[in-house]
Structure 1
Amino acid sequence: MKLFTSKRQRFYTRALQSFILLALFFVPMLLNAAPPTRGVITGKVVTNDGQPAQFATIILDDKKTIHVNKDGVYRIENLEAGTYNIAVSFAGQEPQTKTVEVKTGETATADFALTISAQNLNEVVIIGSKYSVAARKKSSTASRLPLNYLENPQSYSVIDKELIGEQMAITLEESFRNVPGAVPAKTGGGMPAFASRGFYNTENLRNGMATNLKTGIDLASVERVEAVKGPSSTLFGGPMVAFGGLVNYITKKPYQKFGGEVSYTAGSFELNRLAADINTPLNDDKTVLFRINLAAQNKNDFQDQGYGSTLVVSPSITYLVNDKLTFHFDADIQTFKGTNNTAWTTTSGVKATSLDQLKLDFKRSLIDNSFVSNQYSKSYIVQAEYKMSEHWTSQTNFSSSSGGYNDLNYFYQFWTSDSTVARNVDVFAPDKTNRTEIQQNFIGDFHIGRFRNRVVIGLDYLSQYRSYKYRRELMDVVNINQPIPSIRKEQLDDRLSQNSALASNATSRYKYYAAYISDVFNISEQLMVMASLRADRINSQGTYNWLTQVITPNTNYNQAALSPKLGIVYQPVKDKVALFANYMSGFNTQTPALNSDGTVVSAKPKYGNQWEGGVKLDLLQNKLSATISYYNIGVKNAMRLFTQDSKSFYAYDGEAKSKGVEAEVIGNPFAGFNFVAGYGFNENSITKAASNVGKSNIGTPKHVGNFWASYALLNGGLKGLGFGAGAMYSAEAYVDAANTVTMPAYTVIDATVFYNVQQFHLGFKANNIANKKYWVSDGFYSHPMATTNFLATIAYKF
């Protein structure tokens, strides 16, 4: 079988082959690149009990500030020969200073030991300086390179475990409320979703690798959440990327001492939750480390029907073979049993212009608890990290992620008029998915002459599989102004037994092969450019229709895609002010179409291309971080249906656009006080399509704002007592593609009180204090959200 049948596809094949050969040719050469000709200062900061002080700040000659990594290590490069003053600072600690002499071509060492223990240090972080980490927003996974936020020519947000804990967030979508311009939601099957820059994303990466989840994502095992803005296929491929951005959540890793936390949470709607985080070395020399996160939760819905039980098991192991080689293994297993979100939409028969004009009791669900679904998600990652030299690291990743519905029943409810609702049940029995990914990265940080280069060269293979049986059953049409009959799962079972015909019963398989390279080149210490390129070859092995016992026509195909990424950063004030701009590309595969005259239209990948520019600030010795950016995203090659001579034809020339402004400010201006604030403005529209030209995408508001602030007492008899409050605002957004019905604008206000004393943590939170009735969208359906509710937690740390 020929893999490519056109000249363009053969060109992409040759380009991909050449790209791989060039990458393999240059790696050995780059490994021998000239070392820096200037000096280096490195060191480690520890607590008085020998643990890494991972939140410490290093100050060079009262000018340059950097932060130690998770191991307490710092490194300052490209220094001229001479004498320097190095200081280490931390909230609540007196600064320590050392004088260091730097010689050309040599590495000087300056280690520090704080006068505080790791446990007490952690208490200070939790109640006094939690956002100093978030303000740095350093993330190697956002760019797959060792870049700090000011050096990265794109926008991203980080929600760390301290902010997650203070807000008492339980699910991934709750954390999205801290992302500027983002609107959190859930799909009909309960998976997290969010709108960003005019587009919806229902996929999530875990530790930079593809997932394939069929449950929600519990935050029990999550260290931080990263939201990378814009189309990011260059480093993350096509299947996991939406044109408005992607979400990558980083899981908790083992550390070199025994410790952990157990907690119990209770709240409204009969919420009961137990969680545990246990860490321990498995051998005396602490080279084999183990950590496990567990959670079990039961909760009812805020409406008259609906409930769910969640179970989370997330073990992880780190094996430190030697100072060069490390293995990581982690798993995340989550199960859900209960009812699913009710999905709502409208039809042309609705005359109301807003959902709040439809007079159904907000707490009336029109479903029944007998419609139980069983869902699971399993994700496994193995990583080998090998330090090849002082300047090069090899990172080999393997990931297997599967999810499924053993028996999914969720209500898809149509407003057929202002007073009538068609109750449909979507049945998946079963639906099984899997993604397997193998990834090899070579990450370099080296100098050629005086020019610093940070490079990642990677190969990526992704295999994707889905097998499902599906049917939609119209149960009845009810009038909300009259008595509404109950509905039971037994009624559905009776109908299925009388007519077992399925709408779909199919299996599909895809394979993606890719190579990519990204280089950040320092023209000077203040000016750097990024050049990146990814080449993908996509092989769809067809969708087998078990009803007809043949492969669905046109589903067996091949495509190729190129995804460039360019960026520039200029820091007029080094390490404090950065001007940045980027051009980024993302793609989604599309299936060839069959015209009504029998001709086949070859498909092209759908592309989203972004231009973005803005300013980043890091002020007050890393206590205030701010970003403002303008973006413009153009979509091309979307499938478009048109009619000619009474026949239907397809073309891949549809277009859309999205533009806007985003701003974010994170601060810890003085000890104990922290805040995070964000704002997003977006305008998006379809510019070339079969219908709805000029209309906005479903569920994408023009204005979104978020704010959270907290204050904790660091001294006195009430030391450890703190308060937090915040709000999220969303302007109105459309429910339907024709833009005739809206979800009303809303402002949701939350508040929390917490108290940390010795090894105990107490917390109380009120959600939606104003009892706002509001809806969110996942890009397809609308979902009603919970009214006022409360939760309280007690935790013991050891």
Structure 2
Amino acid sequence: MKYPLQILAFILFTHLSFAQQATITGTVTDSNQMPIIGANVSLKNTSKGAQTNEKGSFDISNLESGDYVLTLSYLGFKTKDIALSISNNQNLDLGNITLYEGNEILTEVVINGERRNMFSRKKTAYVSKLPLKDIENTQVYSTITNEILKSQTVTNFDDALKNATGVEQLWTSTGRGGDGAGYYSLRGFSVQPQLVNGLPGLTNGTINPANIERIEVLKGPSATLFGNAVSSYGGLINVVTKKPYVGTGGELSFTSGSYGLNQIVGDFNTALSKKENIYFRLNTAYTTEQSFQDAGFRKSFFIAPSLSYKVTNRLSFSFYGEITQAEQTNPTFLFLNRSAPSAASNLDELGYNNKLSFTSNDLTLENPTQNYRVEMDYKLSDTWQSQTLLSTSNTSTKGYYSYLFDYGILEGNTFTRFVNKQNANTQTTDIQQNFIGDFKIASLRNRVVIGLDYFNETQTNNSTGYAFYGNVTPDGGTNGDNPFTPVIETDSYPLSTAGVDAALASQGVSNVKSKNHIYSLYVSDVVDITEKLSAMVGLRLDHFDNEGDLTNPDDDYNQTTLSPKFGIVYQPIKDQLAVFANYQNGFTNVAPQLVGNPDDGPQTLKTFDPEQANQLEFGVKTNLFSNRLNVTMSYYDIKVKDRVITDPSSPFNKIQGGEVVSKGFEIELNANPVNGLNIRAGFSNNDSETTKSDNTEILNKRPLEAGPETLYNFWANYEFQEGALDGFGLGFGFNGASERYAINYESTGDFILPSYTIANASVFYQANKYRIGLKLNNAFNKEYYKGWTTINPQTPRTFLANFSYQF
């Protein structure tokens, strides 16, 4: 019986050996041989995939014998395909695999519930137009990730930006032609979100968060790489949209909440041709929302198709589109008097009933917007890549707009209403050609971008003039006495389209079309002097050609400007601790602007010299404990000369000659101390002052656009990782600001809006395919205000419920 048993054992062993399935292992590193954490690793045409761990290692198991193509990708790196074969079910160790830096391109999406520091994504191809890690970059920027937006059940762009350190809303979007999206203060200066995927993308309404992958807030003057059309002296805001990925899947989400909020969001991704590597993604959203006030609403439909076509490993094309149809009532701000003291100097004296909207749902604005972008990437060689980009934007405003202004002519806290009928359109075109290199000269590594940029903007305004339409008091009183006529009048002014149309019948209609062009050449080089020391040098040559009103050749204007940039980074601990300093420049080619009160006759054009801003900054960045702790601390000093501002004595006039100094301190923290817990916190303090001006109204005072001196934000999100509560989670946070000046002029005195702290909380359950979440905003129902020579009441306590299903 001995030999038959041996034969049986041999047969059984052989069968088990052949039944065993293989495993592929390897380690992914960058060009410095540092491990890449969280890189996506997948086998094409299979459902097999993994992410690299803190050592850069991965393994994909349970594989049959056969031929495969392994795809490795990571944000900011060039995707790599490796053809391999498994025979006899033998394990395959690929050893070390190096990914080289490049722009964001088609990537595989691999879900990993334990991915670390989900609130921090500091690798981007946009901030420096080069794929630099944050710790290598001399510029400071905040990144608001899609994971933060999901954890907070964010339904609007204003709430999303509360997560950016040092950013505070000044005005919400009014919908008025030429106003663009909302205004925000950043390092002492106003800024608007005007950049999408690194290219101009405008809107006259709010930005829909349904298509946002992340928001990048670049700090400090950024004209060297981006020009002045989309940036301010405080920085710029870049919205990065969702892009197609390898595979099929998507998500449906429904959110309902207080004040009539209902929002349905769809996200679908699929392959149009797996063989040809063509992938399509569609994001769409429909939102309706009313106001906490007695009138006011907004409804919008948004659709964003995108397409990626990877022709070869050298050539790829991308297309992104965003189309919005929106209708809203414009928020009716209380504009304070800019040339004389108001009857009230604070909210208590004003007697403001913030539940009043001073408008009606019959008076609405429509804001259709379209943004399109096309990108072609071509790998010229192992060291050079060509990137060709085209973007176009078209945004319009049609409908009724009104504002309330305290002229100080009538007694008490009386605000005069003016209305007009908007009919305006803004179109932009931007063409960029970038050559991106990564090469060595002697032993020095150079990462270079050389770019050409053409930007064109055309504005058309066929709106009516503004008509007087009654007066209101902040507590709800009304009267019809026109302050600009000697006779005391008692006419009524119904808030209806018929009534407003009758008042506008005597108003003229503008017929103004203006155009400007910007031609730019820029270059930036990051040189690795040693393994731990690098320097960045950049320069932009910018030519501004303003045609102004096309019917008036006398207002044509052009100017050529140079904008330099320099920075240095030293990493005492490579990829973990960096000390940096930078010099950044910003400028504004100020186009001639219409000035003069339109009620007194036709406005006239006024020309200005260019403004200039220079920033010095230094600080520290960390990336510790395998990406579990990211901290950025910095101190900055910005000086602006030849500033153009609104004349405090007349809202229809602009003046020049001021110098502004803005300096401050910022700290931002993103932490993942244990699996499942993610923390985001920020603090900023800004000291701004007009140090030189012929206008004594503003001299030695804080500019109103600077917003509050102190801002802070915090959000912590914890999801249980195991046990009976696996998948359940909690979130808690707050954001707040010190008091701010709504008015701060010599002749008017001060009107100060009080400080505030707003608490928010959430609870959720995350399963394999779905997520249920409840969110409470402004948990303690705090009454608070924002403003920029205005008084803007903010939303009271709000409840939100969300259900999402992934497929």
TM over 0.5: yes
Q: Distance in 2 between matches of 1:659 and 1:776?
A: 22
Task: Kindly provide the CA deviation profile for residues 289-308 of structure 1, in whole angstroms up to 9, marking residues without a partner as x.
Answer: 10000100111011111011
Q: For 1:706, which of 710, 713, 733 is the aligned residue?
A: 713
Q: Distance in 2 between matches of 1:491 and 1:312?
A: 32
1:685 and 2:689 aligned: yes
1:564 and 2:550 aligned: no
Once the two structures are TM-superposed, the CA of residue 474 in structure 1 deviates from its matched residue by 2.3
- Could you tell me which residue of structure 1 aligns to residue 798 of structure 2? 789
1:46 and 2:47 aligned: no
Secondary structure in structure 2 of the residue aligned to 1:362: coil
1:436 and 2:429 aligned: yes
Superposed, which structure 2 residues align to 1:179-578 within 5 Å? 179-184=164-169, 185-189=171-175, 191-285=181-275, 287-347=277-337, 348-414=340-406, 416=408, 419-470=412-463, 471-480=465-474, 483-484=477-478, 487-497=495-505, 499-502=506-509, 504-544=510-550, 550-551=551-552, 553=554, 555-578=555-578
- Could you tell me which residue of structure 1 aligns to residue 18 of structure 2? none
Q: Distance in 1 between matches of 2:277 and 2:470?
A: 62
Moved more, 39-48 or 517-526: 39-48
Q: Is this contact kept in 2: 1:42–1:73, CA < 8 A?
A: no
Q: For 2:160, which of 162, 169, 175 is the aligned residue?
A: 175
Secondary structure in structure 2 of the residue aligned to 1:701: coil
Q: Distance in 2 between matches of 1:166 and 1:517?
A: 39
Letter in 2 for 1:551: N
Identity, in percent, stands at 33
Q: Structure 1 residues 390, 57: closer, same or farther in 2, change over 3 A? A: farther
Q: Structure 1 residues 491, 628: closer, same or farther in 2, change over 3 A? A: same
Task: Kindly provide the CA deviation profile for residues 30-75 of structure 1, in whole angstroms up to 9, marking residues without a partner as x.
Answer: xxxxxx9999999975258556656754459xxxxxx961499799
Once the two structures are TM-superposed, the CA of residue 415 in structure 1 deviates from its matched residue by 7.4
- Could you tell me which residue of structure 2 aligns to residue 5 of structure 1? none
Q: Distance in 1 between matches of 2:253 and 2:211?
A: 13
Moved more, 484-493 or 700-709: 484-493
Secondary structure in structure 1 of the residue aligned to 2:150: helix
- Could you tell me which residue of structure 2 aligns to residue 660 of structure 1? 664
Q: Distance in 1 between matches of 2:198 and 2:683?
A: 26
Q: Distance in 2 between matches of 1:496 and 1:761?
A: 51
Q: Is this contact kept in 2: 1:335–1:375, CA < 8 A?
A: yes
Q: Is this contact kept in 1: 2:217–2:236, CA < 8 A?
A: yes
Secondary structure in structure 1 of the residue aligned to 2:704: coil
Once the two structures are TM-superposed, the CA of residue 476 in structure 1 deviates from its matched residue by 1.2
- Could you tell me which residue of structure 1 aligns to residue 631 of structure 2? 626
Q: Distance in 1 between matches of 2:634 and 2:456?
A: 36
Q: Distance in 2 between matches of 1:37 and 1:593?
A: 51
Once the two structures are TM-superposed, the CA of residue 409 in structure 1 deviates from its matched residue by 1.7
Q: Is this contact kept in 1: 2:689–2:702, CA < 8 A?
A: yes
Moved more, 611-620 or 133-142: 133-142
Superposed, which structure 2 residues align to 1:59-138 within 5 Å? 59=56, 69-70=74-75, 100=95, 122=111, 124=113, 128-129=114-115, 132-138=117-123
Q: Structure 1 residues 602, 133: closer, same or farther in 2, change over 3 A? A: same
Q: Is this contact kept in 1: 2:121–2:145, CA < 8 A?
A: no
Letter in 2 for 1:451: L
Q: Distance in 2 between matches of 1:55 and 1:261?
A: 25
Task: Kindly provide the CA deviation profile for residues 575-613 of structure 1, in whole angstroms up to 9, marking residues without a partner as x.
Answer: 1110000000111112469999xx999742111111110
Normalising by structure 1, what TM-score?
A: 0.83
Once the two structures are TM-superposed, the CA of residue 414 in structure 1 deviates from its matched residue by 3.3
Once the two structures are TM-superposed, the CA of residue 238 in structure 1 deviates from its matched residue by 0.8
Secondary structure in structure 1 of the residue aligned to 2:275: coil
Q: Distance in 1 between matches of 2:416 and 2:52?
A: 53
Letter in 1 for 2:467: E
Q: Distance in 2 between matches of 1:480 and 1:641?
A: 25
Q: Structure 1 residues 665, 98: closer, same or farther in 2, change over 3 A? A: farther
Task: Kindly provide the CA deviation profile for residues 553-577 of structure 1, in whole angstroms up to 9, marking residues without a partner as x.
Answer: 4x21111111111000001111111
Secondary structure in structure 2 of the residue aligned to 1:491: helix
Once the two structures are TM-superposed, the CA of residue 134 in structure 1 deviates from its matched residue by 4.0
Secondary structure in structure 1 of the residue aligned to 2:147: helix
Q: Is this contact kept in 2: 1:342–1:413, CA < 8 A?
A: no
Task: Kindly provide the CA deviation profile for residues 757-789 of structure 1, in whole angstroms up to 9, marking residues without a partner as x.
Answer: 221110110110111111223x45342110001
Q: Structure 1 residues 482, 341: closer, same or farther in 2, change over 3 A? A: closer
Q: Distance in 1 between matches of 2:269 and 2:249?
A: 5
Q: Structure 1 residues 709, 556: closer, same or farther in 2, change over 3 A? A: same
- Could you tell me which residue of structure 1 aligns to residue 9 of structure 2? none
- Could you tell me which residue of structure 1 aligns to residue 142 of structure 2? 157
Secondary structure in structure 2 of the residue aligned to 1:420: coil
1:763 and 2:763 aligned: no
Gaps of 5+ in 1: 1-35, 61-66, 76-95, 102-106, 111-117, 545-549, 643-648
Secondary structure in structure 2 of the residue aligned to 1:474: strand
Q: Is this contact kept in 1: 2:346–2:751, CA < 8 A?
A: yes
Letter in 1 for 2:675: A
Q: Distance in 1 between matches of 2:771 and 2:269?
A: 19
Q: Distance in 1 between matches of 2:331 and 2:400?
A: 11
Secondary structure in structure 2 of the residue aligned to 1:500: coil
Secondary structure in structure 2 of the residue aligned to 1:676: strand
CA RMSD of aligned residues (A): 3.1
Once the two structures are TM-superposed, the CA of residue 413 in structure 1 deviates from its matched residue by 4.2
Q: Distance in 2 between matches of 1:71 and 1:98?
A: 25
Secondary structure in structure 2 of the residue aligned to 1:772: coil
Moved more, 145-154 or 361-370: 361-370
Gaps of 5+ in 2: 1-29, 58-71, 81-90, 101-107, 480-493, 597-603, 648-652
Letter in 1 for 2:552: I
Q: Is this contact kept in 2: 1:639–1:652, CA < 8 A?
A: yes
- Could you tell me which residue of structure 2 aligns to residue 741 of structure 1? 751
Q: Distance in 1 between matches of 2:605 and 2:147?
A: 54
Letter in 1 for 2:702: S
Task: Kindly provide the CA deviation profile for residues 700-754 of structure 1, in whole angstroms up to 9, marking residues without a partner as x.
Answer: 1110000000111011122111000111111111112516111211111111111
Task: Kindly provide the CA deviation profile for residues 431-477 of structure 1, in whole angstroms up to 9, marking residues without a partner as x.
Answer: 00011000000011111122111000000000011011342222112
